[in-house]
Structure 1
Amino acid sequence: MLGDRWLTIGFVTVRGLITDWGGVLTTPLKEAITAWIEVDDIDAEVYKLVMKEWVSQAYAGDGVNPIHGLEDGSLSPAEFEFLLAERLRTRTGTPVPADGLLTRMFHAFEPVEPMYDALRRAKGAGVRTCLLSNSWGNTYPRELFTELFDAVVISSEVRLRKPDPAIFHHALELIGLPPEECAFVDDIEHNVRAAEELGITGVHYVDSVSTVARLEGLLGIPLG
């Protein structure tokens, strides 16, 4: 246990760690998408236009669109694949197969081992850990969940999605800590800001080295 090694910021002790999955515990989304575009011969400019439209809608107020639906479980992965494939084309102008599209998109995801190691060390030292992930129909390494996390929140399973405050409150309730005693790691800055508005310490993930160093400072324990 941490004992007197808990780090206190002002009058608050940070003793909870909540983290995103894709792009934090995996290689960056951009790298996975780039690999998929090459393998499936996707017209990259068409994909970028569709994603710019959908992502903007998904994070604009209460806007509902395919990304929003996929993440909160109101749209099935198969339905999302159909809608996305309908908008895409290959570089030669042919249709993109919908079946298995999400699996192909994220096939190049690889684990970021320094982040996994940091989670194991944090949990082993008594830090309450929680996965908080907006799911895109991903195949998660569930066999590792017990050793990594005290709680798991996957958006499509709880019918909530980041940056909705309700999903953060749900994660906090599961690990039994108030927001001011927790840190949250995400590669999407919008989600980090949403957590900070609730009193959670936000950590915008850019790379594992800087993130692990930041978490060591917040938790007051070695994680590397």
Structure 2
Amino acid sequence: MLTGVLIDWGGVLTTGLSDAIARWIAADRIDGDHYRDVMRKMIDHAYHGDGESVVHALERGEIDGSAFERDLAARLLTVDGVPPVADGLLARMFAGFERVDAMYDMLREVRKNGVKTCLVSNSWSNEYPRHDWDEFFDAVVISGEVGMRKPEPRIFHHALEQIGRGGEECVFIDDIEANIVAARALGIAGIHHSDANSTIAELETLLRLTLRRA
């Protein structure tokens, strides 16, 4: 029986990253094609490449956001052919994230039924809206605060310890497939998130609970 839920933040408890990035590209006049090429290479290396990268360092908190902003800004171009302003770049990139209330409602119902919950998020030196998190999470694991990142096995072990559950007792929800694969390798059930309705329906089946209000 599953009695624990580990869950990502950006793109799962918020609207999708692509929507937020599209708003930022328009607002900062970023060369979108160039940005996507740069980011594709950075993320591919972060999840599938050999050796360490600036993304690894950022997500583990080994470098601060301002250092990463300078690095990323130097790689990007605006439509005017110059790098974007580095200061505040990450805040502007993620400003378009919006809370998905249905997912928070689901977490509230999960906890009412005695299931433990833990947020497990890779941070990019971003601010999180923590004002009401006590209502939704029994534990919070932010990569930059614990010095570990998904999909490293140790961050999953750490999250499980925080809620006192074994891997076989938990399900992990994330929008990045590589993270789901890593969790499943540890015996944790995985839900690859694409939208609130399908994720909640799959979670209801796994937990054998009704999580949506009539």
TM-score above 0.5: yes
Counterpart of 1:154 in structure 2 is: 142
- Seq. identity, %: 54
Give unmatched runs, 5+ long, in structure 1: 1-12
What does 1:22-171 align with in structure 2 at a 5 Å threshold? 22-60=10-48, 63-171=51-159
Letter in 2 for 1:180: E
Q: Which range moved further: 66-75 or 17-26? A: 66-75
The 1-side partners of 2:3 and 2:125 are apart by 30
Other structure's SS at 1:222 match: coil
Name stretches of at least 5 consecutive residues in structure 2 with no aligned partner.
none
What amino acid sits opposite 2:23 in the alignment? A
Deviation at residue 61 of structure 1 after TM alignment: 5.2
Q: Tell me, yes or no, if structure 1 residue 21 matches structure 2 residue 9.
A: yes
Q: 1: distance between equivalents of 2:131 and 2:123?
A: 17
Alpha-carbon separation, structure 1, partners of 2:49 and 2:156: 17
Distance across 2 between alignment mates of 1:62 and 1:121:
41
Structure 1 ranges of 4+ moved more than 6 A = none
* Offset, 1:48: 1.0
CA RMSD after TM alignment: 0.9
Q: Which amino acid aligns with 1:18?
A: L
Query: What secondary structure sits across from 1:79 in the alignment?
Result: helix
Code of the residue aligned with 1:78 in structure 2: it is S
Residue 173 (structure 2) pairs with residue 185 (structure 1): yes
Alignment of 1:223 with 2:211, yes or no, is: yes
What letter corresponds to residue 135 of structure 1 in structure 2?
Answer: S
Deviations, residues 61-98 of structure 1 (Å, cap 9, x unaligned): 55211211110111110000000001111111122100
Greater CA drift, 210-219 or 53-62: 53-62
**1:201 is matched with which residue?**
189
Aligned residues between the structures: 212
